[in-house]
Amino acid sequence: MAVRTTGRISAMRDLTFKLMRGTMTDVALGIPDKVRRTALACGEDGLAWLVGLGPLVAELKRNWDLSIGRTFPTATEAFVAEVVTADGRQAVLKIPITGIDPSRRELHTLLAANGHSYVRVLRYDAARGAMLLERLGPQLHQLGLPLDVQIEIICTALRDAWIPLPEGLQLMSGAEKASNLASFIEIAWRELGRPCSERAVAKALSFADARSRAFDPQSAVLAHGDAHAWNTLLVPGGGPRRFKLVDPDGLFIERAYDLGISMREWGSELLAGDPLQLGHRRCRQLARLTDVEPEPIWQWGFIERLSNGLLLKQKGLDRGANESLTLVDAWALDDLR
């Protein structure tokens, strides 16, 4: 055991030395600090990814005949850069950090969508997860549109994106997603010192059990899994309401889950008045725009709001965490009013 541990430490030192050398020779990559920190948090795999990123980008540049442009500064879990192809087409090169998406759910989801309501994949290297994607315009949240308009745009994109699961594609099911979120909530709530009410946790676990039991493969769809205003991008030349989705988690789940993400977002707007009343108003809006029943939207939104609050708390992002946990405490009183 000691020999194995010593060998691992030695390997880490070698990788660290290579990385230090690489930061001086591959400055042009412009790796954002968030991406670097995320990679380092992944241990040996992340460190090896950082060390090998320069050579990999050079290889893809050569093999795919690309001109590499600026790196996207907002990336967090992948190297993402503007590129131009040999025929002058503007595109995006994306190389996820090793281990972030080991089953390549993002790539498989995008290939299944084939450009319909999702960013189109132009080329890819499945073994290393590298993707050449069509270049889209700004994120929805950057456009300064009213919140109700943003929600309507996301709902329109989702309605176009929901399709039956393609044959042979294996993705996490709705029952598995509900179970995973329930387990995370139980463990994280205790480890973080119970930062929200026990009533809220009990309600979230009850909702997760309900959504797990409600999973039906006959009505489930290929879902995005994280459809918010940062993952909804304008299509250049496609008109003011033409948008596509990026960065899918890829799930086989009921439509209501994707709508629950909009219940998880924009917390400050919900805290500007009666959070329970405003929460139900948003839930009814999502249901009306998509013809999905409001109760499963509410339940998924509650689960997502609580689990995301705990996740933010784990990361030390107390402002966002407190916002979400304050909301679920208010929402948990629903049956008392």
- Token digits for 275? 């959070």
Q: pLDDT tens-digit profile of 182-235?
A: 999 999 999 999 999 999 999 999 999 999 999 999 999 999 999 999 999 999
Q: Does 237 score more than 50 pLDDT?
A: yes
pTM: 0.89
Say if residue 240's pLDDT is above 80.
no
**If DSSP states are collapsed to H, E and C, what string results for 217-275?**
CCCCEEECCCCCCCCEEECCCCCCCCEEECCCCCEEECHHHHHHHHHHCCHHHHCCCCH
Of 246, 59, 250, 248, residue with least CA distance to 135: 246
Share of the chain above pLDDT 70, in %: 90
Six-digit token string for 66: 């690309």
Contact predicate 121/79, CB 8 Å: no
CA 310 from centroid of its chain's CA atoms: 16
**Cα first-last separation, the chain:** 59
Domain with CATH 3.90.1200.10 in the chain: 140-336
DSSP states along 123-190:
EEETTTTEEEEE----BGGGG---HHHHHHHHHHHHHHH-BPPPTT---EEHHHHHHHHHHHHHHHHH
Residue 298 near residue 256 (C-beta atoms within 8 A): no
CATH 3.30.200.20 intervals, the chain: 2-134
Domain covering 140-336 assigned CATH 3.90.1200.10 in the classification: yes
With tokens 């509410």, the residue in question is: 298
Tokens of 40: 């380092």
| pLDDT tens digits, one per residue of 126-167 | 998 999 999 999 999 999 999 999 999 999 999 999 999 999
pLDDT class of 29 with cuts at 50, 70, 90:
confident
Nearest Cα neighbor of 107 from 117, 118, 39 is 118
Q: How far apart are CA 305 and CA 299, in angstroms?
A: 10
Query: What DSSP state is assigned to residue 97?
Result: P
Tokens of 177: 């997603």
* C-alpha triplet 243, 232, 72: angle, nearest 5°: 115
Superfamily of domain 2-134, CATH level 4 = Phosphorylase Kinase; domain 1 (3.30.200.20)
Which band of pLDDT confidence, cut at 50, 70 and 90, is reported for residue 10?
A: low
pLDDT tens track for 70-98? 999 888 899 999 999 999 999 999 999 98
pLDDT band at 24 (very low <50, low <70, confident <90, very high): very low
**Distance (Å, rounded) from C-alpha 257 to C-alpha 220?**
10
- Residue 6 — very low, low, confident or very high, per pLDDT cuts 50/70/90? low
How many CB atoms neighbour CB 315 within 10 A? 10
